[in-house]
Amino acid sequence: MLRSAIIAGLCSALVCWPRIATAPHQGFPVWYLEAVALSGSIVLWGLVFAWHTQYTQRPVFTLKVAAWPLALATGAGLATALFWHFAIDPWLRVKAPEDYPTTMEQWLAMTLFSLGLKQLFVVFAPFAWLIRLFGRKEPAFILTVIFGLTVVVIREYRSPSPMLSEPFFLGLLAIRGAAGALSVYLYLRGGVLLVWWWDLLLQSRHFLN
């Protein structure tokens, strides 16, 4: 388990490097942020490899995904990407332009960071810890989604231009909650790779600009 966590942590830290190296307004050296990403990723992957398969009886990584979860991830990914592009992005791009890539290099850096660390932090590791805590999927599922929403609220609260008071924010939070619930569902049905596929389709909407 430890060996798998170290290897996965190294991969996560490696794919996060482009985003960490190019992110604006950094208060710490890149080497320090990379060290934090590496150590944190190893711990988080350790939770995943230690408890996910034990409590769900499903592998963390698998290429044997049933047709329905794969179709759901693909269809939902494309539909959500189009909805986000036309309904959400025009408003969010004005409020938080730093979240939107303007070059292929920026898109690649942001996408790799999302796949390598974001999903690990808000879906894979929290679910593993919660299912170990409760021993049941249902509370782990619900609390993982709530944790993801809490991260969104905290991020907005600490933002230079928070959107917490915007009427639109509650609707945005509901949409993010639905996306988080779908991520956890896909994780339970097809493992990490299926969630990465759904997230990659969502990130691909930036090519429509």
Examine residue 167 and state whether it is found in any structural domain, yes or no: yes
The total number of structural domains in the chain stands at: 1
pLDDT at 164: 61
Q: How far is the C-alpha of 8 from the C-alpha of 39, rounded, in Å?
A: 11
Examine residue 9 and state whether it is found in any structural domain, yes or no: no
Examine residue 44 and state whether it is found in any structural domain, yes or no: no
pLDDT at 98: 82
CB-count burial class (<10 Å; 0-12, 13-18, 19+) for 86: exposed
Residue ranges in 57-158 assigned as alpha helix (H): 67-83, 89-95, 104-113, 119, 125-134, 137-157
Reference 92, options 41, 36, 156; nearest CA is 156
Q: How far is the C-alpha of 180 from the C-alpha of 173, rounded, in Å?
A: 10
pLDDT at 145: 96
Examine residue 170 and state whether it is found in any structural domain, yes or no: yes
Examine residue 32 and state whether it is found in any structural domain, yes or no: no
CA atoms within 13 A on the CB side of 201: 21
Print the domain residue range for 129.
Answer: 61-208
pLDDT at 209: 73
**Residue in this structure with the two tokens 């509650």, named with its chain if needed:** 170
Q: How far is the C-alpha of 135 from the C-alpha of 56, rounded, in Å?
A: 9
pLDDT in tens, the chain (209 residues): 889 999 999 999 999 999 998 877 677 888 889 999 999 999 999 999 999 999 999 999 999 999 999 999 999 999 999 999 998 888 888 877 888 888 999 999 999 999 999 999 999 999 999 999 999 999 999 999 999 999 988 888 777 666 766 777 788 888 999 999 999 999 999 999 999 999 999 999 998 87
Examine residue 19 and state whether it is found in any structural domain, yes or no: no
pLDDT at 6: 92
Examine residue 177 and state whether it is found in any structural domain, yes or no: yes
Q: If DSSP codes are grouped into helix, strand and coil, which group holds residue 63?
A: coil
Examine residue 181 and state whether it is found in any structural domain, yes or no: yes
Q: What's the full length of the chain, in residues?
A: 209
Q: How far is the C-alpha of 148 from the C-alpha of 150, rounded, in Å?
A: 5
Q: How far is CA 208 from the centre of its chain?
A: 21
